[in-house]
Amino acid sequence: MKTRTAPSPESTELDRIREAIDVVDERLLDLIAHRQRLALSTLEVKTRHGLLPVDVSREAAVVARGAKLARERGLEPELVRDIFWRLIELSRAGYRARGTRNGA
């Protein structure tokens, strides 16, 4: 019969931190889903007003702002730029799924 040993203090501490990271990850995904819904709402407005779905100058401004905010928070700006470009690509994929021609 195996005897169980109590978890080490560092193991318990790591488990608590990892659980907190899991919660943050879930919140991030909730925020990404919310951002996606908002992006699709902009598509509806743009369609009503005859605007193109993709605004590359706005996309560039969003990415630049993300990098600036990252720098202010001590994060690597270039990596955050990559994250923002991926978020924009997610929005464009949503546009394409809605059947827009210029969802690039």
Q: Is the dihedral of CA 89, 55, 42, 98 positive or negative?
A: negative
Query: Please, which pLDDT band fits residue 40 given cuts at 50, 70 and 90?
Result: very high
* Mean pLDDT for the chain overall: 92
CB 62 within 8 A of CB 88: yes
Enter the tokens of residue 18. Answer: 């990892």
Q: Considering the entire predicted model, what is its pTM?
A: 0.82
Q: pLDDT value at position 9? A: 78
Residue with tokens 């007003």: 49
Q: What is the 8-class DSSP label of residue 3?
A: P
Q: Would the pLDDT of 55 be above 80? A: yes
Looking at residues 44-55, what average pLDDT do you find? 93
Cα 59 to Cα 4, 14, 89, 92: the distances in Å are 55, 38, 10, 11
Q: How far is Cα 80 from Cα 74, in angstroms, rounded to an integer?
A: 11
Mean pLDDT along residues 23-43:
97
Q: Locate all alpha helices (DSSP H) within 9-97, ordered by sequence.
A: 9-48, 56-72, 77-97
